Amino acid sequence: MKIKAYLKPQCGWSMGVRAIMDKYTLEYEDLDIINNQEIYAEMVEKSAQPLSPCVEVDGVMLADVSGEEVENYLLSNKLVNQNSSETSVPTNAPCSDEEHKRQAREAQESSPVRFF
Protein backbone atom coordinates (compact mmCIF):
# COMPACT_ATOMS: atom_id res chain seq x y z
CA MET A 1 0.00 0.00 0.00
CA LYS A 2 1.38 3.42 -0.98
CA ILE A 3 0.32 6.27 1.33
CA LYS A 4 1.10 9.96 0.96
CA ALA A 5 -0.09 12.14 3.85
CA TYR A 6 -0.25 15.90 3.25
CA LEU A 7 0.10 17.25 6.79
CA LYS A 8 1.03 20.25 8.88
CA PRO A 9 4.02 19.81 11.22
CA GLN A 10 1.90 20.72 14.26
CA CYS A 11 -1.88 20.40 14.01
CA GLY A 12 -4.40 18.34 15.96
CA TRP A 13 -5.91 16.89 12.79
CA SER A 14 -2.49 16.07 11.32
CA MET A 15 -1.32 14.49 14.58
CA GLY A 16 -4.48 12.34 14.51
CA VAL A 17 -3.60 11.07 11.03
CA ARG A 18 -0.05 10.27 12.16
CA ALA A 19 -1.46 8.44 15.19
CA ILE A 20 -3.51 6.17 12.91
CA MET A 21 -0.47 5.45 10.76
CA ASP A 22 1.45 4.51 13.91
CA LYS A 23 -1.45 2.47 15.33
CA TYR A 24 -1.42 0.23 12.25
CA THR A 25 2.38 0.48 11.72
CA LEU A 26 1.84 1.75 8.19
CA GLU A 27 4.67 3.13 6.10
CA TYR A 28 3.74 6.49 4.62
CA GLU A 29 5.20 9.68 3.20
CA ASP A 30 4.72 12.54 5.68
CA LEU A 31 4.55 15.59 3.41
CA ASP A 32 4.91 19.04 5.03
CA ILE A 33 2.43 21.43 3.41
CA ILE A 34 3.44 24.39 5.58
CA ASN A 35 7.15 24.58 4.87
CA ASN A 36 7.03 23.42 1.25
CA GLN A 37 4.82 25.40 -1.15
CA GLU A 38 5.28 22.84 -3.93
CA ILE A 39 3.87 20.07 -1.75
CA TYR A 40 0.95 22.29 -0.72
CA ALA A 41 0.26 23.06 -4.42
CA GLU A 42 0.41 19.33 -5.22
CA MET A 43 -2.12 18.62 -2.46
CA VAL A 44 -4.50 21.32 -3.74
CA GLU A 45 -4.20 20.06 -7.31
CA LYS A 46 -4.79 16.42 -6.37
CA SER A 47 -7.58 17.05 -3.84
CA ALA A 48 -9.25 19.96 -5.70
CA GLN A 49 -9.48 21.90 -2.42
CA PRO A 50 -7.11 23.73 0.01
CA LEU A 51 -7.87 22.09 3.37
CA SER A 52 -5.75 19.55 5.21
CA PRO A 53 -5.02 16.88 6.14
CA CYS A 54 -5.30 15.02 2.88
CA VAL A 55 -4.22 11.41 2.58
CA GLU A 56 -3.68 9.55 -0.68
CA VAL A 57 -3.98 5.78 -0.39
CA ASP A 58 -3.02 3.83 -3.51
CA GLY A 59 -4.09 6.76 -5.70
CA VAL A 60 -7.36 7.47 -3.86
CA MET A 61 -7.40 10.96 -2.33
CA LEU A 62 -9.10 11.42 1.03
CA ALA A 63 -9.51 15.19 1.27
CA ASP A 64 -9.76 17.23 4.48
CA VAL A 65 -9.90 14.17 6.75
CA SER A 66 -9.32 13.35 10.39
CA GLY A 67 -7.38 10.35 11.62
CA GLU A 68 -10.69 8.74 12.51
CA GLU A 69 -11.92 9.11 8.94
CA VAL A 70 -8.68 7.67 7.57
CA GLU A 71 -9.01 4.71 9.93
CA ASN A 72 -12.63 4.14 8.84
CA TYR A 73 -11.57 4.19 5.18
CA LEU A 74 -8.75 1.71 5.78
CA LEU A 75 -11.01 -0.65 7.76
CA SER A 76 -14.01 -0.46 5.44
CA ASN A 77 -11.80 -1.21 2.43
CA LYS A 78 -10.11 -4.06 4.29
CA LEU A 79 -6.69 -2.44 3.93
CA VAL A 80 -5.96 -3.03 7.63
CA ASN A 81 -7.36 -5.37 10.27
CA GLN A 82 -9.21 -4.07 13.32
CA ASN A 83 -6.79 -2.98 16.03
CA SER A 84 -7.90 -2.11 19.57
CA SER A 85 -4.68 -0.29 20.50
CA GLU A 86 -5.13 3.22 21.88
CA THR A 87 -3.52 6.18 20.14
CA SER A 88 -1.32 8.69 21.94
CA VAL A 89 -3.41 11.65 20.72
CA PRO A 90 -7.04 12.19 19.72
CA THR A 91 -7.71 11.12 16.14
CA ASN A 92 -10.61 13.50 15.54
CA ALA A 93 -9.74 16.84 17.13
CA PRO A 94 -8.14 20.17 16.30
CA CYS A 95 -5.28 21.62 18.31
CA SER A 96 -6.22 22.83 21.75
CA ASP A 97 -6.45 26.57 22.41
CA GLU A 98 -3.25 26.25 24.43
CA GLU A 99 -1.45 24.68 21.47
CA HIS A 100 -2.63 27.48 19.15
CA LYS A 101 -1.37 30.10 21.62
CA ARG A 102 2.00 28.35 21.91
CA GLN A 103 2.34 28.15 18.12
CA ALA A 104 1.47 31.85 17.76
CA ARG A 105 4.07 32.76 20.41
CA GLU A 106 6.74 30.69 18.70
CA ALA A 107 5.93 32.19 15.30
CA GLN A 108 6.10 35.69 16.73
CA GLU A 109 9.41 35.01 18.48
CA SER A 110 11.00 33.53 15.37
CA SER A 111 9.82 36.19 12.93
CA PRO A 112 11.59 39.52 12.88
CA VAL A 113 9.41 42.61 13.14
CA ARG A 114 10.12 45.16 10.45
CA PHE A 115 9.17 48.79 10.61
CA PHE A 116 9.05 50.73 7.35
CA distances from 98 to 3, 34, 105 (A): 31, 20, 11
Q: By the 8 A CB rule, do 35 and 9 touch?
A: yes
Domains (range + CATH), the chain = 3-110 (3.40.30.10)
Between 69 and 10, whose confidence is greater? 69
pTM above 0.85, yes or no: no
Q: Phi and psi at residue 80, in whole multiples of 5°?
A: -140, 160
Q: What is the DSSP pairing of strand 3-7 with strand 60-62?
A: unpaired
pLDDT band (50, 70, 90) for residue 51:
very high
Percent of the chain with pLDDT over 90: 74
